[in-house]
């Protein structure tokens, strides 16, 4: 193999992983367990929400026209018709000059079109003094105002957060149609690696990337399955990759960082399937491999921790979003001003870790073998391949982690 | 009870929940299960990282001074000493005029102080032509450069994300000291509420807030425990609250929205413990109750969905962060420009849902009883109590969800 990689643009690498990404099935889970899952079907309102005109305050349901000109000095005087019981639809038909007490959430009786807050009223025997006028519809949630029966409330591909779970409850979705959770196999290679439980001898380092990748996979709605450290032995590696491809929906090979390791990984993927891309115009993260075995995505991550992390964020994320069925990107971003010049090499996308504080992003420069810039940063900025850098003071978009 | 609540500022409510928040114990979990958990101890490097001078490229380890002036036309010619095996500390002592091949991640032999990338070299028999000079330390990760033995790598109170998990692996933390997961009881009250599985009759609505609160609790590292809908019957409510307080670390009462419901909730908390706050100067979310029973926090959430959600974000979040031991806030924010004027009432904090797109925040005005503004927004802006509003074009901080 050549010592030079034939690198492709990031957009091509992203397109490649997207083309490989398939959801793994669908399922139904109880609403209590649907948080963080992704909808596999559109959800529509099964009825009108609310199903009736609803007071949003504690107060007196009135005809708004009866309160015109009401004030502290000269209140409107309305005859009380008693109170609407919570959770009950009252048969009362409100006439001009009348009012009825309605608790927050209670049904507005027929004839009423607004509610006067109890704070703006005074009870005098059977009569209620209204001290502030209300407009038609004031303090009322109208029938249908939130959603009408049949309205799309949440679309397929939505990753479900707390507010969505509330929404699903409101439309009676007690078991939720979701995509199944993809299982991602994680294999570590590299003769320099020792397990986390060992104290590294001279020349050795602990295998940290595979656990980082596993946690990342989990944060993106997948289940990691660890295959441990495989020695740089082609037979052992082939056996493990075959097993992982059979047992999982995709495989990440957390690479040894040397060219030998990378070459073996690429050769093996080629032998058992197809290598689509070997080398991406991204820094850090160039020696990334994208391929497939038995139609399942197999990604070779670079060996340096920061490189591996950037590739997870910039490339693998799209694979996982595709496999989990997530339609809208989960990546949160913030705008900030750069506190220093950041030079970049034209022709590759540079990802620079930054510390974000009060709208200012300070780049943390550091070799891609370092972990400290990763744990000390809280996001990354992307410098496009066409750019030679970004100047101090410019507005940048920070991908938050 | 008075019809007027005695409201306190948001800062006071936050201080109150913080004063009630206690972690619930500590535990040790395998590294594979530590993602999303919170460290209960400081983690220090158990050795130097890296433990040796390490090449970050595939290339030739050299004495940098031997490459001075090297170029394509007139390369430096160095004698090859063979290659350093991956994962092994070589006994070679490099002399002036010599070089040795080192794979990425390999140990730099004694005497070498830089690495020439293989792309900038050419092998000619036993000799290596070096075509580009390197500086001292170039392409090398120095011994200790990431962390030195004893350095603090991650502090107690850190919520663990993928990069942190990689860091823990690197320092040999195979079982991770974490705080235990608090259990939060969730009780629903309100005569208008029916279970999610029912079709609401006239005047009824489905109980959506308790599931929203449960999912929120989960997103913030706690386990929800649901006690279902309790009828507005003081005896039943007392029994359920007692049970929840006994079984959980804190209790959220997802309130009926009427004054009667709120009063009963407050009275019961007062009977079984203490009501510290009843009413917060926040909109939406005013009728919130903060108290404790048997030393455990008990929060009465407002009944309107948007109000409940804002109170979860603005107040309850601090309670959960305290109980999970999370030191740094998890809330992600972005800066954006407002696309419209947002008026506000002086004396209360207003929380306005916004749609965020390309650095522009568009306010979604809507009654607090609506769910649609919640699921259509992707964040919220806060207008301080001192302010009468924010003008179009002003830069605002958006809390993202």
Per-residue pLDDT of chain B in tens (401 residues, 90 and over written 9): 455 678 999 999 999 999 999 999 999 999 999 999 999 999 999 999 999 999 999 999 999 999 999 999 999 999 999 999 988 887 889 999 999 999 988 999 999 999 999 999 999 999 999 999 999 999 999 999 999 999 999 999 999 999 999 999 999 999 999 999 999 999 999 888 999 999 999 899 999 999 999 999 999 999 999 999 998 788 999 999 999 999 999 999 997 767 777 888 999 999 999 999 999 999 999 999 999 999 999 999 999 999 999 999 999 999 999 999 999 766 788 889 999 999 998 899 999 999 998 889 999 988 888 899 999 998 999 999 999 999 999 999 999 88
- CA gap B221, B321 in Å, rounded: 8
Residues of B in contact with A105 (CB under 8 A): 190, 192, 205, 256-258, 303, 369
Non-local CB neighbours of A155 within 8 Å, separated by 6+ positions = A39, A42, A43, A327
Give B325's contacts (C-beta < 8 A, 6+ positions apart): B23, B38, B39, B40, B156, B157, B179
To the nearest whole Å, the CA of B314 is away from the closest chain A CA by: 14
Which residues of chain A lie closer than 8 angstroms to B214, CB-CB?
32, 35, 165
B77-80: long-range contacts, CB 8 A cutoff, minimum separation 24: B77/B127, B77/B128, B77/B129, B77/B130, B78/B127, B78/B128, B78/B130, B79/B126, B79/B127, B79/B128, B80/B123, B80/B126, B80/B127, B80/B128
Burial status of residue B400 (CB atoms within 10 A of its CB: 0-12, 13-18, 19 or more): middle
- Please give the residue of chain B at the shortest CA–CA distance from A309: B163
Within 8 A of A304 by CB-CB distance, chain B residues are 56, 104
Chain centre distance of CA A155: 14
Q: Which two tokens stand for residue B286?
A: 């005013």
Residue A165 contacts B where some CB pair is shorter than 8 Å:
yes
The arithmetic mean of pLDDT across residues A147-171, rounded, is 97
Q: Which of A175, A197, A215 has the most B C-beta neighbours within 10 Å, making it the best mutation to test the interface with B?
A: A215
The number of residues making up chain B comes to: 401
- Closest residue in A to B121 (Cα) is A3
Of A339, A341, A330, residue with least CA distance to A383: A341
Q: Is B172–A256 a contact, with Cβ atoms under 8 angstroms apart?
A: no
Tell me the per-residue pLDDT of A7-32, one tens digit each, with 9 for 90 and over: 999 999 999 999 999 999 999 999 99
Taking CA atoms, what residue in A is nearest to B168?
A208
Measured CA distances, A3 to A251, A263, B150 (Å): 25, 10, 39
8 A C-beta contact, residue A24 and residue A137: no
Q: What is the pLDDT of residues A348-396, one digit of tens each?
A: 999 999 999 888 999 998 888 889 999 999 899 999 999 999 999 999 9
Residues 6 or more apart whose CB falls under 8 angstroms from that of B55 comprise B61, B102, B103, B104, B105, B106, B107, B108, B115, B139, B140, B141
Residues 262-291 on A with a CB inside 8 Å of B are none
How close, in Å, is residue B60 to chain A by CA atoms? 13
Sort out which chain B residues have CB atoms less than 8 A from A106's CB and list them.
Answer: 192, 203, 258
Residue B199: is it exposed, middle or buried by C-beta count within 10 angstroms (0-12/13-18/19+)? exposed
pLDDT of residue A255: 77
- Cβ-proximal residues to B165 (8 Å cutoff; 6+ apart), any chain: A211, A212, A214, A215, B31, B34, B35
What's the Cα-to-Cα distance from B155 to each of A95, A224, B147, B172, B328, rounded to whole Å? Answer: 67, 26, 14, 16, 10
Q: Where are the alpha helices (DSSP H) in A33-175?
A: 162-170
Partner A contacted by B257 (CB < 8 A): yes
Phi, psi of A175 (to 5 degrees): -120, 130
pLDDT band at A4 (very low <50, low <70, confident <90, very high): low
Mutation target among A137, A203, A264 for the B interface, most CBs of B within 10 A: A203
CB proximity under 8 Å: A 99-118 to B: 103-107, 118
- State residue B6's pLDDT score: 83
User: What confidence score (pLDDT) does residue A260 get?
Assistant: 78
**B329 vs A: CB within 8 A:** no
Q: Is B263 exposed, middle or buried (0-12, 13-18, 19+ CB in 10 A)?
A: middle
What does the pLDDT average to over A82-89?
88
Q: Taking CB atoms and an 8 Å cutoff, what residues of chain A touch B54?
A: 205, 369
A-chain residues near B169 (CB < 8 A): 196, 206-208, 210-212
For A161, half-sphere exposure in the C-beta direction (CA atoms, 13 angstrom radius) is 15
B residues 202-241 near A, CB within 8 Å?
A: 202-216, 218-219, 224, 226, 232
Cα–Cα distance between B377 and B353 in angstroms, integer? 6
**Per-position b or e across A277-292, b if 16+ CB within 10 A of its CB:** bbbbbbbbbbbbbbbb
**Domains within chain B, CATH numbers bracketed:** 10-24+181-324 (3.40.980.10), 26-48+154-179 (3.90.105.10), 54-141 (2.170.190.11), 333-400 (2.40.340.10)
Chain A contact set for B29 (CB, 8 A): none
| Distance to chain A for B371, nearest Cα, Å | 6
Interchain contact A256–B (C-beta under 8 A): yes
Burial class (CB in 10 A: 0-12, 13-18, 19+), B374: buried
How far is the C-alpha of B48 from the C-alpha of B230, rounded, in Å?
A: 58
CB A373 within 8 A of CB A310: no
Q: Which of B162, B206, B375 sits opposite A169 (nearest CB)?
A: B206
Contact list in A for residue B115 (CB cut-off 8 A) is: none
Phi then psi for B153, rounded to 5 degrees? -100, -35
| Best B109, B115, B163, B186 residue to mutate vs chain A (most A CBs within 10 Å) | B163
On chain A, the residues whose CB falls within 8 A of the CB of B106 are 192, 203, 258
| Contacting residues of A for B210, CB less than 8 Å apart | 169
Question: Rg of the Cα trace of chain A?
Answer: 30
Neighbour count for residue A156 (Cβ, 10 Å): 16
Q: Give the model's confidence band at A3: pLDDT under 50 very low, under 70 low, under 90 confident, else very high.
A: low
CA distance A24 to A248: 10
Helix (H, G, I), strand (E, B) or coil at B343: strand
pLDDT-wise least confident of A1-5, A106-110, B253-257, B373-377 = A1-5
pLDDT of residue B2: 53
Q: Indicate yes or no: CB of B207 within 8 angstroms of CB of A161.
A: no
Nearest to A35 among B85, B219, B257 (CB): B219
Q: Is the pLDDT of residue A2 over 60?
A: no
Q: Please name the residue of chain B whose CA is at the shortest distance from the CA of residue A400.
A: B332
- pLDDT value of residue B231: 82
B residues 345..364 contacting A (CB < 8 A): 359
Report the greatest alpha carbon distance in chain A: 96
Q: Does B368 touch chain A (CB under 8 A)?
A: yes
**Could you give the CA distance from residue B8 to residue B19 in angstroms, rounded to a whole number?**
16
Tell me the CA distances in angstroms from B336 to A276, A334, B191, B248, B354, one per residue in order. 40, 8, 41, 40, 10
Q: In sequence order, what are the beta bridge partners of B188?
A: B229, B254
Contact (Cβ atoms closer than 8 angstroms) between residue B310 and residue B383: no
Distance CA B190, CA B207 (A): 9
Q: Any idea what the Cα angle at residue B338 is, between residues B332 and B342, rounded to 5°?
A: 105
Angstroms from B258 CA to nearest CA on chain A = 4
CB contacts < 8 A (A, B): 329
Name the minimum distance, in Å, from the CA of A214 to any CA of chain B: 7
* Residue B141 with chain A: CB contacts under 8 Å: 367, 369-370
Of B89, B199, B375, the CB nearest to A154: B375
3-class DSSP assignment, residue B274: strand
Question: Within 13 Å of residue A53, how many CA atoms lie on the same side as its CB?
Answer: 18
Cβ <8 Å between A89 and B202: yes
The residues that bridge with B179 in the sheet, in sequence order, are B26
Query: Which one is predicted more confidently, A239 or A6?
Result: A239
Cα A366 from Cα A370, distance rounded (Å):
7
Q: Which of B105, B186, B200, B227 to mutate: most A Cβ within 10 Å?
A: B105
The DSSP bridge partners found for residue A100 are A61
Name B84's Cβ contacts closer than 8 Å, sequence gap at least 6: B61, B90, B92, B100, B101, B102, B103, B106, B107, B109
Residue pair A232/A260 in contact by the 8 Å Cβ criterion:
yes
Three-state DSSP at B291 gives: strand
Here the contacts of A315-318 (C-beta below 8 Å, separation 24 or greater) are: A315/A10, A315/A13, A315/A14, A315/A17, A315/A280, A315/A282, A315/A285, A315/A288, A315/A290, A316/A17, A316/A213, A316/A216, A316/A252, A317/A220, A318/A14, A318/A17, A318/A18, A318/A21
Give this prediction's pTM: 0.94
Which three-class secondary structure state does DSSP give residue A267? helix
- Encoding tokens for residue B149? 């033995």
CA distance B338 to B360: 6
CA A380 to mean position of chain CA atoms: 17
Task: Indicate the SS3 state at residue B197.
Answer: coil
Contact B215 A35 (CB under 8 A): yes
The stretch A231-245 carries a mean pLDDT of 93
Residues A257, B32: C-beta atoms closer than 8 Å: no
User: CB within 8 A of B15, min separation 6: which ones?
Assistant: none
């Amino acid at each position: 193999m050549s010592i030079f990689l034939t690198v492709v643009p990031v957009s091509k690498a992203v397109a490649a992983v997207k083309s490989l990404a398939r959801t793994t099935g669908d399922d139904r889970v109880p609403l209590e367990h649907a948080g963080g899952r992704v909808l596999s079907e559109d959800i529509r309102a099964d009825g009108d929400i609310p199903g009736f005109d609803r007071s949003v305050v504690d107060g007196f349901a009135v005809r708004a026209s009866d309160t015109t000109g009401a004030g502290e000095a000269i209140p409107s005087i309305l005859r009380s018709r008693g109170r609407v019981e919570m959770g009950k639809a009252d048969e009362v038909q409100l006439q001009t000059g009348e009012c009825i007490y309605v608790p927050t959430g209670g049904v507005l009786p027929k004839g009423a079109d607004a509610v006067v807050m109890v704070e703006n009223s005074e009870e005098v025997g059977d009569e209620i003094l209204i001290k502030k006028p209300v407009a038609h519809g004031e303090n009322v949630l109208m029938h249908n105002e939130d959603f009408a029966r049949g309205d799309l409330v949440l679309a397929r591909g939505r990753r479900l957060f707390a507010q969505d779970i509330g929404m699903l409850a409101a439309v009676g979705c007690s078991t939720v149609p979701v995509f199944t959770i993809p299982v991602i196999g994680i294999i570590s290679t590299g003769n320099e690696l020792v397990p986390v439980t060992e104290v590294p001898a001279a020349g050795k380092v602990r295998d940290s990337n595979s656990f980082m990748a596993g946690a990342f996979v989990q944060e993106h709605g997948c289940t990691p399955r660890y295959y441990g450290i495989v020695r740089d032995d082609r037979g052992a590696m082939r056996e493990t990759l075959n097993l992982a491809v059979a047992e999982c929906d995709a495989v990440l090979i957390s690479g040894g960082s040397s060219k030998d390791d990378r070459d073996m990984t690429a050769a093996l993927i080629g032998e058992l399937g197809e290598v689509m891309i070997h080398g991406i115009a991204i820094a850090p993260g160039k020696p990334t491999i994208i391929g497939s075995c038995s139609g399942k995505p197999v990604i070779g991550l670079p060996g340096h921790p920061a490189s591996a992390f950037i590739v997870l964020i910039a490339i693998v994320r799209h694979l996982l979003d595709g496999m989990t069925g997530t339609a809208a990107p989960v990546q949160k971003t913030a705008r900030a001003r750069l506190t220093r010049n950041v030079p970049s090499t034209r022709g590759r996308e540079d990802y620079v870790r930054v510390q974000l504080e009060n709208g200012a992003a300070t780049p943390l420069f550091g070799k891609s073998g370092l972990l400290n810039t990763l744990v000390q940063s809280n996001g990354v900025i992307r410098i496009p391949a066409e750019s030679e850098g970004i100047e101090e003071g410019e507005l940048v978009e920070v991908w938050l982690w």
